[in-house]
Structure 1
Amino acid sequence: MATVGEDAKKIMLRSCDAKEFEVDEAVAKQLEMFAKMIKDGCPEGGIPLLNITNKALDVVLEYCKKHTDFATTEEEIAAWDADYINVGQDILYDVIMVT
């Protein structure tokens, strides 16, 4: 089982507007795009995301963290997911582009 928390391996993601996000590897691997990059070996300074803004990346990582939380029930996830998509259209478009 993947480790999440203080002892977990960390991955650095860098948005196109230069904001850095240090996340647990298990969280980043929730998205296939990041999982492939991690499998191929992350660049020394982290993964640069040239077309992803920090606002979109923040929203996507929130989703990934929630879906990595082993204490959350399926019902809680379903309810959370329903609320999750209620963001502005501009952010929702960016999120779709990330995934």
Structure 2
Amino acid sequence: MSSSSKFLALQTCDGKEFVLDEVIAVRSQTIKNMVEDDCVSNVIPLPNVDSKTMTKVLEYWKKHSEEGVSKDMLIYFDKAFVNVHHSILYDFILAANFLNDKEILDIICQEVANRIKGKTPEEIRMNLISRMILLQRKKRRFVKRMLGLLNDFITLELFLIFCSFYFYFRIRTG
């Protein structure tokens, strides 16, 4: 990396900060738009991405940004990247969608398609139900985390209304 490289700090929903070269960070269309629109201050918040998921996304970005890596090595890396439990794969989908990284989203969606190929509708339905249960658990953890941040000026009722709207629009838009 050159000495003129610009570094960006990303902060995940669980508070962990990642500092990385802007050249790597702009693989995310979301971050790229923020940089181009000059919306970047000290730290870019990533409210929909946790640190475990972001660590893996950064591994992916760095590997795919390296020079001299053969196409076969990248294919092998991609297969290992998506060879995870379906709940982690679901976190990758949410992160890739939020970060607007089409490349990651494409390989993950292909993996999901490969996993449901040959399954009965009932098997697929049960898999989706278990994912919905995981999403509800994440929603509850989010609400508990936000309740810890409430101050005297916000009532619980207003906060719960906000959460309802937030999750409603989040599900409707993506």
With a CA cutoff of 8 Å and minimum separation of 6, indicate the structure with the bigger relative contact order: 1
Match of 1:34 in 2: 31
Runs of at least 4 residues off by over 4 Å: none
Calculate the TM-score normalised by the size of structure 2: 0.51
Q: How many residues align?
A: 95
CA shift for structure 1 position 57: 0.8
2:9 maps to 12
In the alignment, is the contact (CA less than 8 A) between 1:31 and 1:64 conserved in 2?
no
1:9–1:24 contact (8 Å) kept in structure 2: yes
More helix by share: 2
How far apart are 1:55 and its partner, in Å?
Answer: 0.7
* Alpha-carbon offset, residue 42 of structure 1: 4.2
Identity %: 35
SS in 2 for 1:17: coil
Q: Secondary structure at the match of 2:68?
A: coil
What RMSD in Å do the two structures reach over aligned CA positions?
A: 1.4
Residue 93 (structure 1) aligns with: 90
When the two structures are superposed, what TM-score results if normalisation uses the length of structure 1?
0.86
Tell me the residue number matched to 1:62: 59
Unaligned runs of 5+ in 1: none
Distance 1:83 1:67 in 2: 14
